[in-house]
A and B are shown apart, each in its own frame.
Chain A
Amino acid sequence: MFDTTFHRPGLLEQLSQLQQVLSRSLGADGAPDGIRAAAAGAFPPINVGRTERAIEVYAFAPGLAAQSIDVTVERGVLRISGERQPTERGGQEAVQVYAAERWQGRFSRAITLPDDADTGSVEASYRDGVLRVSVGLREAARPQRINVQ
């Protein structure tokens, strides 16, 4: 379930994940960040999950046109970029602005993909303001059952 990405793992879970995570360079809570990790408050915020078949990246980037989002994969780096236009006022002239917390302008985020990512099989979809990028994992990296003779 998607909800699992919201979980902050407990200490034991963290320890057991640490080794895997370090070699994956995607980072996790408590583990060293990847070199491309962005400071808190970067736009769009990103959640990353992993299944046996794919790396799932969720970028929370509301209010965009799907065709205005650029998703590129180059040399193992997934990059999400685009631009969010200022709000149209519909001809009304603003008298006073009380809050302007929403991101405006160009944005770009980069995520280092693990070595076993298959950059040839990347799918992206945009729904309810969330961009979901699914990067397949190479066959060889998937868990295999070995028959015992």
Chain B
Amino acid sequence: MSQQTQLTRSEGQRDVAAATDAAPRRRQAPGAQAMVQPAVEIVEDGAGISLLADMPGVPREKLDIQLDGETLVIDGEVAVAGPEDMRGLWAEVSAPRYRRAFTLSRELDVARIEAAMKDGVLTLRIPKQAHAQPRRIAVSTG
């Protein structure tokens, strides 16, 4: 039991770390809509993992969070009002879409993921399964 928990824990750590190896970068496949990876913050505590993603310009209704097996995908489309006749002069945000995928691990309770969107920041709370929460092992002296 403790061996099993150990294995999934280390697997989970590697996966989350691997998914976050780079700063936001532009990705564009031919013919596909340009998109950027949102900057994220991922912090684990005893009860679960908190994920924050900067997705400025994405209203709640243009946000899509999908869970397929152990893959979590966050996807948001920028919808910012602007005048009809505007010409672009300068663009540091060059894609109207954010997308990023993460691999979750088995000890996370995907059924209880909570999401909130406020001022362009997506907050996801991914709790751990009850049995995966940390417990202290008493060391007996003898």
Interface residues of A (CB under 8 A from B): 1-9, 21, 24, 26-29, 40-42, 44-54, 56, 58, 60-64, 87, 89, 92-103, 126-130, 132
Contacts and interface: CB of A to CB of B under 8 A. Distances in A.
A60 B36 CA distance: 13
Contacts of A97: 41-44
A102 B54 contact: yes
B82 A5 contact: yes
Contacts of A62: 54-56, 119-121
Contacts of A51: 83, 85-87
State the main secondary structure of chain B at its contact with A.
Answer: loop
* Residues of B in contact with A, size category: 35 or more
A128 B120 contact: yes
A42 B86 CA distance: 24
Given A41-B23, A94-B45, A99-B42, A2 B87 contact: no
A3 B87 CA distance: 9
B89 A89 contact: no
Interface stretch (B67-75, B90-98, B106-114): B90-98
A128 B92 contact: no
Interface string B47-59: 1001010111111
B88 A26 contact: no
A95 B119 CA distance: 27
B82 A2 contact: yes
A74 B125 CA distance: 43
Contact of A63 (B16, B46, B85, B119): B119
Given A62-B55, A98-B43, A102-B41, A56 B83 contact: yes
B138 interface: no
B129 interface: no
Contacts of A61: 56
B46 A101 contact: no
B39 interface: yes
